[in-house]
Amino acid sequence: MKKLKISTDFDVYQSLNDLPSDEFELMQQAIEARKQAYAPYSKFSVGAAILLANGEVITGSNQENAAYPSGLCAERVAIFYAGAKYPDVQILKIAISATATQERTVLPIPPCGACRQSIMEYEFKQKFPIEIIFMGATGNVAKSASMANLLPLGFDNSYLLSDI
């Protein structure tokens, strides 16, 4: 038996204003997208903005449903649209802002497991890291250089191949 240790690291900025200007702009678009969330059930709003290598920004917000599991997270609304509209364009970064609607969330809110897995698929497909920048409504901003960094032991399509 041997023990393995997996470590991860990310940057924490004290506030939105400390981000490099392109990432500040991207986060502003995530915040604007968050305001379009349809979240009458959880009252928790999330916005995501994706920067593509062609300069396009794709945004999304969480879309809930009375049949709860039919709703979708902001990150997946955005990444699936990016994948559908620009299948051959590299995804560079995703900025995410999330907050409870009653009270402003001050902690950086990381993407849920299903969103990490979904974003990871595109990172794996394009063989290039996707930077993940996330925050609450205000407060610290966290930045991970890749999704692999936030999803250790991620499942990818190499496991589906029968000859390994």
Annotated catalytic residues are: 75
For residue 83, give the H/E element and its range.
helix 74-85
Q: Which stretch binds ligand THU (CB under 6 A): 4-12, 68-76, 117-125, 141-149?
A: 68-76
Among 10, 24, 44, 86, binds ligand THU (CB under 6 A): 44
- Number of neighbouring beta carbons within 10 Å of residue 29: 19
Indicate the residue among 117 and 126 with the shorter CB distance to ligand THU. Answer: 117
Among 19, 27, 33, 39, binds ligand THU (CB under 6 A): 39
Q: Which stretch binds ligand THU (CB under 6 A): 5-13, 37-45, 82-90, 138-146?
A: 37-45
Per the CB < 8 A criterion, the answer to whether 52 and 91 are in contact is yes
Per the CB < 8 A criterion, the answer to whether 135 and 141 are in contact is yes
Among 27, 105, 111, 135, binds ligand THU (CB under 6 A): 111
Q: State the number of binding residues for ligand THU (CB under 6 A).
A: 13
Sheet with 131-135, strands from edge to edge, namely: 11-13, 141-144, 131-135, 91-100, 44-52, 57-61
Indicate the residue among 57 and 89 with the shorter CB distance to ligand THU. Answer: 57
71: contact with ligand THU by CB under 6 A = yes
Q: Where are the beta strands (DSSP E) in the chain?
A: 11-13, 44-52, 57-61, 91-100, 131-135, 141-144
